[in-house]
Structure 1
Amino acid sequence: MPRRHVYMGVAALLLFCGMGRVDQAFAETEGVGTLAGVFARLKSCWKPPALPRGHPEMQITVLFSLQRNGEIFGKPRITFETADASEADSIPYRTAVMETLQHCTPMPFTGGLGDAVAGRPFRVRFDDRRNQPQPVERRAWLITTTL
């Protein structure tokens, strides 16, 4: 008998978790209602350029505004780029940032968020550090020897 209760509990938990995913997917198609949702949507649209191994890291900050209906208001402007990057290095990143904004807009805002962010500037940093070497772990302690 206790085993059956465990199975019923696991089944109820799986059913509850599955329904949460359906509700979350429905909420995403319904509209973006929070600033975290705006940034999550931008992150899902971001496709960094394909670069050779050992390419330097790149950071770009873009400033843009959105209208109530989620379309871009005005012209996005790049306000920061990594200082030591050459023109040939930064052009693919600039292109990728602008393509991200084109693919993600119009942003499907809910009514309240659309009214709140209309015309206000967003400053988003795109940070690509995928080619950084992984740090080597070192032991911070000595192995003791017992005599």
Structure 2
Amino acid sequence: MNVFKPLMITGALVICLSATSNAEPLKTMDDVGRAIDTCWKAPSDSKGSVTLSFSFKRDGTLLGKPRPTSIAIEGDDKVRQQFIASAIDALSNCTPLTFSTGLAEGIAGQVFTMPFTAPKETNPMVTTQ
């Protein structure tokens, strides 16, 4: 059984790398918002919103650490901290994103904001500051 473990790990890596390389490049900031939103799961039974401010490099990685700019979350300090951490983790874990050439040329270094709202909104918006 141990002989197959390295093969299973190698196979899983090949599948993950293939899935990443076949992803369609993101062409608009609406595409970026939807991609990031798929990476976020609000803490259970949470209500509220945190808006994060962040920037991208042309290669789709984050430039610096995302930071909260607006916080309106129901609950105590622990609940607020978990909510904010879940949004920051989602954004960090969702990158690097694959941008189209046109989007990559205009995106680098700009500051963007995105609300993370629970219950989830149907169409998250990423905007420039």
Note if 1:66 corresponds to 2:59.
no
**Counterpart residue number, 2:14:** none
Note if 1:32 corresponds to 2:26.
yes
Identify the match of residue 124 of structure 1 among 110, 114, 117: 114
When residues 83 and 29 of structure 1 are mapped into structure 2, their CA distance, relative to the original with a 3 A threshold, is closer
Q: Name the Cα RMSD after superposition.
A: 1.8
Q: What stretches of structure 2 of length at least 5 have no aligned partner?
A: 1-21, 121-129
- Provide the C-alpha distance between the structure 1 equivalents of 2:76 and 2:49, rounded to a whole number of angstroms: 13
Q: What stretches of structure 1 of length at least 5 have no aligned partner?
A: 1-27, 131-147
Q: Could you list the runs of 4 or more consecutive aligned residues of structure 1 that deviate by over 4 angstroms after TM superposition?
A: none
Bigger Cα Rg: 1
**Counterpart residue number, 2:35:** 41
Residue 95 of structure 1, CA deviation: 1.5
Identify the match of residue 90 of structure 1 among 80, 83, 100: 80
TM-score scaled by length of structure 2: 0.69
Q: Is this contact kept in 1: 2:48–2:74, CA < 8 A?
A: no
